[in-house]
Amino acid sequence: MIKRIGVELKEGCDISGGDLAIKSLQDMIDFDEILSIDPGLIIDEEPLFLHAVSDLNTRLKRVVSQSLKEGHFPLVFGGDHALAIGSISASLTKDTGVIWIDAHGDCNTVESSPSHRIHGMPLAVLQGYGHPKLTHLNDTVLNGVDILQIGIRSLDEEEALLMKKWGVRIISMQDIKSEGWKWAKQELSLFIDHHPRLHVSFDCDSVDPKEAPGVNTPSKNGLSVREVLDIFDTLPFEKVSSMDIVEYNPTKDDEKTKAMILKIDALVHLKRGAL
Catalytic residues, by residue number, are 81, 102, 104, 106, 119, 203, 205, 247
SS3 155: coil
CB-based contact 198:242 (threshold 8 Å): no
For residues 134 and 126, give the distance between their C-alpha atoms in angstroms, rounded to a whole number: 9
> How many C-alpha atoms does 33 have within 13 Å on its Cβ side?
15
For residues 222 and 231, give the distance between their C-alpha atoms in angstroms, rounded to a whole number: 14
Sign of CA dihedral 166, 167, 172, 174: positive
226 contacts: CB under 8 Å, gap ≥ 6: none
For residues 91 and 80, give the distance between their C-alpha atoms in angstroms, rounded to a whole number: 19
Closest CA to 206 of 191, 192, 221: 221
The CB density around residue 234, as the number of other CB atoms within 10 Å, is 11
For residues 86 and 137, give the distance between their C-alpha atoms in angstroms, rounded to a whole number: 7
Closest CA to 79 of 28, 29, 17: 17
For residues 99 and 206, give the distance between their C-alpha atoms in angstroms, rounded to a whole number: 13
Burial class (CB in 10 A: 0-12, 13-18, 19+), 69: exposed
CB-based contact 219:104 (threshold 8 Å): yes
For residues 71 and 80, give the distance between their C-alpha atoms in angstroms, rounded to a whole number: 26
